C-alpha cells in the first residue's frame, strides 16, 4: 500500500514564539516520524507577500522559520522541505486552476469577506477598497500547493479549513472537466492541539504582543516569564493552577507527573517568583539543544539554503511529472 501523503505550509511572516512551537512545530515534527506517512512541509513565501509588504521582514522571517523547523528536529531526509517560490510548477498550476475556479467561490472566502465587511463597517463607498488580487485569489494558490503533490491529508488550524475545502472543490472540478489527475485532499484538524496562553492570559499570539519568543537566551526567557501575570498572593499562601497563565505553560513543557507535583507545590504555598524560576528552567531545558542548532544555522544561512535547494530539487521532480499531465489534459502540448 502506498504511504499517506501529508502536506502543510507555513507562511513566512513573523518570528516563531512558544505558542507556535507547542501548537504546531513540536507535534508536526513528531508526526513526520510516522513511517506510514510521507510528509511535505514548505515555507509559503508567496502567501507571505500577500499580507506583508516589507521585503526585509519576508526575508528575515523565511530564514527564521526555516531555521526553526530544522532546529526543532525536522529531518530533511524524511520530510520534503522546500520553499514555495522555488517550485515554479506551483505557479503554473496556480494559473491553470485560476482558469477553472468560479469567481463566486472566491467571493465566499473568509479573508476576502472579512476585508469587504470591514469596508462596509467603515462606510467605504467601494466594498473592495484596498483588496488586492493576491488576497482575493489566496485560496487558489493554496489549492495549487496542495494539488501539486497530490496530498491526501492537510493538517491546518481551524481558520484554514475553508481553504482545504475549496481545494477539494477545485480538484473535483478539474477531474470532472478534464481528467482524473488530482487526489481530493482531506483537512486534518488536531482536536487535542495544545493552545498555549500568553503572558496576559489570552492565546499567545504575535498579534497580541504577549508572546515568549522561542529563540532568546536563558536570561531573557526568565525575564519574559517574569512578566506573566499572577495575583497578589504572598509566598506561603495556597495557590490554584487557574490563578496564573504560567501553569498552562508549565504543563506544556512537563510530563503529567511533573505537572501534578507542580500543582501540589502551588497548593503548598510556592511563591509566584519561585514558580516563575521553575517554569523558565523547564523551557530553557527543553530548548537548550534546539537553541544551539538555531544559532548555528542562522549564523550560516547558506546551510539552510542548501537544504532548501535539495528539498526543492526533490519536490520539482514530482511536480514536473504531474504538471506535464495537467498541461496535456487542458490542451497545452508540443506540436507534432
Ligand atoms: P500567531 O497567532 O502568532 O499569528 P500563526 O497564526 O502564524 O500565529 O500560527 C502559526 C501556527 O502556530 C498555527 O499552526 C497555529 O495553530 C499555531 N499557534 C499559534 N499560536 C498558538 C498558540 N498560542 N498555541 C498553540 N498553537 C498556536
Ligand atoms: N495559508 C496557510 C496559513 O496561513 C499556509 C499555507 C499555504 C498552507 N499553503 C498551504 C497550509 C497549503 C496547508 C497547505 O496557515
Among protein residues, the one whose CA lies closest to atom 15 of ligand 2: 10
SS3 content of the chain, % helix, strand, coil (to 5): 60, 10, 30
Burial of 330 (0-12, 13-18, 19+ CB in 10 A): middle
Cα–Cα distance, 136 to 102 (Å, whole number):
12
Q: Measured in angstroms, how far is the CA atom of residue 316 from the centroid of ligand 1?
A: 29
Q: Using CA atoms, how far apart are residues 281 and 130, in angstroms rounded to an integer?
A: 46
Q: Is the dihedral of CA 307, 311, 21, 207 positive or negative?
A: positive
Residues of the chain with pLDDT under 50: none
E strands present in 161-246: 186-188
Question: Contact, 52 vs 97, CB < 8 A?
Answer: no
Q: Which ligand is nearest to the CA of 44?
A: 2
Q: Which atom belonging to ligand 1 lies closest to the Cα atom of 20?
A: 12
Q: Please give the distance, rounded to the nearest whole angstrom, from the Cα atom of residue 216 to the centre of ligand 1.
A: 18
Residues across the chain? 336
Note the pLDDT of residue 1: 64
For ligand 1, whether the C-beta of 9 sits within 6 Å is: no
The best mutation among 109, 112, 145 to test binding of ligand 2, ranked by most ligand atoms within 8 Å of the C-beta, falls on 145
252 contacts 212 by C-beta, under 8 angstroms? no
Strand order in the sheet with 37-44: 79-83, 37-44, 4-11, 153-155, 186-188
Integer CA distances (angstroms), 16 to 43, 254, 312, in order: 13, 21, 23
d(CA 167, CA 172): 8
- Give residue-wise pLDDT tens across range 43-102: 999 999 999 999 999 999 999 999 999 999 999 999 999 999 999 999 999 999 999 999
The whole-number pLDDT of residue 308 equals: 98
Judge if the beta carbon of residue 51 lies within 6 A of ligand 1: no
What residue ranges line ligand 2, CB within 6 angstroms? 7-9, 11, 44, 47, 142, 145-146, 154, 156, 160
- Rounded CA-CA distance 142/163 in Å is 7
Structural contact between residues 186 and 154, judged by C-beta atoms closer than 8 angstroms: yes
CA of 170 to the centre of ligand 1 (A): 27
* Cα of 195 from ligand 1 centre, angstroms: 8
Amino acid at each position: 500500500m502506498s504511504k499517506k501523503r501529508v502536506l502543510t505550509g507555513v507562511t513566512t511572516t513573523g518570528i516563531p514564539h512558544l505558542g507556535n512551537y507547542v501548537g504546531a512545530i513540536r507535534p508536526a515534527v513528531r508526526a513526520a516520524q510516522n513511517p506510514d506517512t510521507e510528509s511535505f512541509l514548505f515555507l509559503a513565501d508567496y502567501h507571505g507577500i500577500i499580507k506583508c509588504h516589507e521585503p526585509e521582514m519576508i526575508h528575515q522571517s523565511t530564514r527564521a522559520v526555516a531555521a526553526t523547523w530544522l532546529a526543532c528536529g525536522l529531518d530533511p531526509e524524511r520530510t520534503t522541505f522546500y520553499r514555495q517560490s522555488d517550485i515554479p510548477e506551483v505557479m503554473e498550476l496556480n494559473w491553470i486552476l485560476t482558469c477553472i475556479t468560479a469567481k463566486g467561490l472566491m467571493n465566499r472566502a473568509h479573508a476576502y469577506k472579512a476585508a469587504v465587511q470591514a469596508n462596509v463597517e467603515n462606510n467605504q463607498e467601494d466594498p473592495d477598497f484596498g483588496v488586492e488580487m493576491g488576497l482575493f485569489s489566496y485560496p487558489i494558490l493554496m489549492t495549487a500547493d496542495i494539488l501539486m503533490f497530490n496530498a491526501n491529508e492537510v493538517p491546518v488550524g481551524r481558520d484554514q479549513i475553508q481553504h482545504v475545502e475549496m481545494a477539494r472543490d477545485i480538484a473535483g472540478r478539474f477531474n470532472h472537466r478534464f481528467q482524473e489527475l488530482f487526489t481530493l485532499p482531506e483537512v486534518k484538524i488536531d482536536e487535542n492541539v495544545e493552545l498555549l496562553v500568553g503572558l496576559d492570559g489570552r492565546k499567545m499570539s504575535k498579534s497580541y504582543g504577549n508572546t515568549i519568543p522561542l529563540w532568546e537566551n536563558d536570561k531573557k526567557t526568565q525575564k519574559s516569564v517574569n512578566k506573566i501575570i499572577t495575583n497578589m498572593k504572598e509566598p506561603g499562601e495556597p495557590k490554584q493552577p487557574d490563578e496564573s497563565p504560567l501553569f498552562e505553560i508549565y504543563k506544556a513543557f512537563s510530563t503529567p507527573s511533573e505537572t501534578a507535583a507542580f500543582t501540589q507545590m502551588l497548593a503548598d504555598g510556592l511563591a509566584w517568583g519561585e514558580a516563575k524560576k521553575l517554569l523558565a528552567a523547564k523551557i530553557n531545558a527543553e530548548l537548550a539543544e534546539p537553541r544551539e542548532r538555531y544559532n548555528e544555522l542562522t549564523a550560516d544561512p547558506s546551510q539552510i539554503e542548501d537544504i532548501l535547494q535539495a528539498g526543492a530539487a526533490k519536490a520539482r521532480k514530482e511536480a514536473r511529472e504531474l504538471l506535464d499531465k495537467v498541461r496535456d489534459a487542458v490542451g497545452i502540448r508540443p506540436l507534432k
